[in-house]
Structure formats: C-alpha cells, structure tokens
C-alpha cells in the first residue's frame, strides 16, 4: 500500500504528485475538500514515505501500475485522476475504462518529455546540494510557496537515489495512448518548464480534451493557488459525475 493522505468522503479523486514531489504538495487542497468528494493523495514508489520495491526501475508504466494497485486496495478504481507534471503522465498511463476523467496540471506531454543530456549531472547533483534543489523547486512555484516549503525540499532530496536521473529518462522514453473520456489540461502561463504549445498539444491529443490557461501562476497551481484549483476541480467534477 502506498503511503497517502486522505480527506473527505464521496466520489473518489486521486491527486498524483510530480517529480521531486510528494503527497504534501496537495496538503492545502486536502484541508478543504469539495463537498461529496473523497480526496486521496499517495506518495508514488520511491517518493515521500512510499519505499521503492527492491530492484525498482523508474518508469511511467511502473508508477501507473502502483497507482492502480493502490486504488484497487482502497476500492476506488473509479476515481477521477488528477495529475501534476510527471503525475500527469502517470494519470494518462493509469487511466482505464472505469476512469471518469483526467484533470492534468501542467502535465508532461503524452509524446514524451526529453531532457538534454547535459542536464542529467545537474539532476544528480541535487542529491547533495539542497540549496540548488530548493532554487529549482522554487522556480516551479514562482508566485507562492507554502510555509512548509523547506519540508518539501527535504522530502525531494530524500527520493530514491535512482529517481534523480531515472524519472527524467522515464519521461523521455514514455508515450501515451489516447484516453477516450473527458480530459481537462490546466496550464499556468508562468511555467518555465512546460510551454503553452506543449500543453495545448496535450489537450489536442485527446478526443475529448480541453485546454484552460490560468494567468498569474506557474508550474504548480496546487501550491500557488489551491483555492482556484479546488474551484476548477469542482467544475470538472460536474462534467464527469454520472
């Protein structure tokens, strides 16, 4: 079972964190769950308090299978999937015929997200250089960071050692398949990592994809404006609930 946070009751919604992240990136969202919604925020394997299995190799399919197993164990296989950044790729991969919809926050593109080879030593250096890691994560939430941001940095540095380079290689190698249900791609326009063109292409990739630009936030709406995220989630749930 993946370590997770939970709040509320009713329609299951799983909140999937990104790279160098953990379940606590959703903490403020969990403090005020929408009415009639059961929020589940797991740590993926090797992140936060979920250890990676022996011999685990980071891959989007492996993370997606761990998520599906988690939802099955909780009886929440019909959960709406919300994915942020790398978590967006995991959501796309984990979706099944029972998934009512996907809400993707500045997601990795479904056609893969290559990292230039010269950047891999920088990613590896974050294992030892907490100050540089903090600066990198701060750039992912340029307009606001919660008071416990140092805790998020510490948890990021505590990732499984193979994740520092392995997650980037996993995203470069991965390709999504189209999901037939409703998909909402929410894009913070100040994002320095994912371009608007990438996010628009992600929405266009899906037959029922839709694009929503949010001005005044960067890569991490869940940290920068959790109240607005809840409003968007509530609106999307009205579309996908039976």
Q: What is the pLDDT of residue 182?
A: 98
The string of DSSP letters for 54-102 reads: TT----HHHHHHHHHHHHHHTT-TTPEEEEETHHHHHHHHH--TT---E
What pLDDT is recorded for position 242? 63
- Report the pLDDT value the prediction gives residue 148, as an integer from 0 to 100: 94
Instruction: Give pLDDT, residue 225.
Output: 98
Contacts with 238 (C-beta within 8 Å, 6 or more apart), sequence order: none
Residue with tokens 């380079």: 165
- Return the pLDDT at 195: 98
Q: What is the 3-state secondary structure (H, E, C) of 177-213?
A: CCCCCCEEEEEECCCCCCCHHHHHHHHHHCCCEEEEE
Residue 126: which of 87, 156, 148 has the closest Cα? 156
Q: Are strands 80-84 and 11-16 parallel, antiparallel or unpaired?
A: parallel
Q: In CATH terms, is domain 4-240 a member of 3.40.50.1820?
A: yes
Cα 197 to the center of its chain, rounded Å: 19
* Percentages (nearest 5) of helix, strand, coil residues in the chain: 40, 15, 45
Check residue 34 and give its pLDDT: 94
Residues of the chain with pLDDT below 50 are: none
Q: Phi and psi of 126, rounded to 5°?
A: -65, -15
Q: Are 233 and 224 in contact (CB under 8 A)?
A: no
Beta-ladder partners of 38: 12
Record the tokens describing residue 187, joined without a space: 């894009």
Say if residues 15 and 82 touch (Cβ distance below 8 Å). yes
User: What is the model's pLDDT at position 169?
Assistant: 98
């Amino acid at each position: 079972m993946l370590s997770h946070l939970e709040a509320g009751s009713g329609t299951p919604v799983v909140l999937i964190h990104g790279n160098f992240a953990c379940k606590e990136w959703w903490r403020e969202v969990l403090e005020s769950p929408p009415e009639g919604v059961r929020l589940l925020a797991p740590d993926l394997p090797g992140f936060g308090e979920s250890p990676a299995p022996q011999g685990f190799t980071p891959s989007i399919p492996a993370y997606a299978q761990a998520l599906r197993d988690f939802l099955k164990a909780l009886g929440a296989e019909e959960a709406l999937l919300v994915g942020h950044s790398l978590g967006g790729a995991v959501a796309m991969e984990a979706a099944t015929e029972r998934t009512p919809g996907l809400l993707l926050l500045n997601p990795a593109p479904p056609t893969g997200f290559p990292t230039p080879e010269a950047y891999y030593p920088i990613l590896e250096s974050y294992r030892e250089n907490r100050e540089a890691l903090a600066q990198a994560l701060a750039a992912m939430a340029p307009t606001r960071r919660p008071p416990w941001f140092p805790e998020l940095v510490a948890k990021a540095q505590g990732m499984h050692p193979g994740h520092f380079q392995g997650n980037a290689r996993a995203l470069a190698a991965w390709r999504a398949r189209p999901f037939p249900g409703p998909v909402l791609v929410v894009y913070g326009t100040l994002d320095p990592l994912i371009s608007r063109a990438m996010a628009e292409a992600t929405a266009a990739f899906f037959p029922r994809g839709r694009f929503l630009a949010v001005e005044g936030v960067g890569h991490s709406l869940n940290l920068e404006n959790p109240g607005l995220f809840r409003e968007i989630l509530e609106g999307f749930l009205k579309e996908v609930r039976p």
